[in-house]
Amino acid sequence: MKKLVLIGIGLLFTLTVAAQSGLKTGMKAPEFTAKDNTGKSINLTRILKSHQAVVLFFYRGQWCPYCNLHIKQLQDSLQQLTAKGAYVIGVTPETGDNINKTIEKTHASFSIIQDKGYKIMDAYDVKFVMDEGQVEKYKGYGVDLNKNNGNSDHVLPVPATYIIDRTGKITYVHFDKDFKKRASVTALLKAL
């Protein structure tokens, strides 16, 4: 039954994200400043002054098992990523309380940003808005986006991953509209 639910969510997600294409390798990464889950101000340019690269990834929420698995894999490999000079940042529309649930589930110790106004998701072309029918279907699967995101916007990101080098250029992109496919740690380490 759980597999059917995930397949149903996958079909809804795939149909919804047709318009997004994400940013491409070689493009200048859009600048952003935001507070992370610890209250720390995260500024892309400032971080790149003290790190070789930023691994920036977008996830849907603590309710998504594929997101949690990906975050756990990043956390489990965090020492390897930081040894290559990378600073890892997650971006999500979910509320601070739900970010805390994500951290409890995954033990993530890197920065996670709640993208309240969707400025980061917009800038990286990963934002999509679900229609009311899709929102109701998600509720049928036990996912209440209003509660998880603290609003009625029904916005989710394509779960994309970018590596941004010290010059602010995007050097790696994993953008797949199939929410089950994520950037592997092996691919990230190779790209760093």
Q: How far apart are CA 49 and CA 168, in angstroms?
A: 10
Taking residues 159-163, report their average pLDDT: 96
The mean predicted confidence, pLDDT, of the chain is 90
Contact 70, 182 (CB under 8 A): yes
Q: What is the pLDDT of residues 132-151, one digit of tens each?
A: 888 888 899 899 888 999 99
Range of the domain at 77: 2-191
* Predicted confidence (pLDDT) at residue 117 exceeds the cutoff of 60: yes
- DSSP track, 44-103: HHHHHHHSSEEEEEE---TT-HHHHHHHHHHHHTHHHHHHTTEEEEEEESS-HHHHHHHH
Backbone dihedral angles phi then psi of residue 54, each to the nearest 5 degrees: -120, 130
Q: For the chain, what is the domain count?
A: 1
CATH, residue 138:
3.40.30.10
Q: What is the pLDDT of residues 51-71, one digit of tens each?
A: 999 999 999 999 999 999 999
> Which residues, in sequence order, are CB contacts of 10 under 8 Å at separation 6+?
178, 179, 180
Ranges 37-41, 72-76, 122-126, 138-142: which has the least confidence: 138-142
* pLDDT computed for residue 8 by the predictor: 47
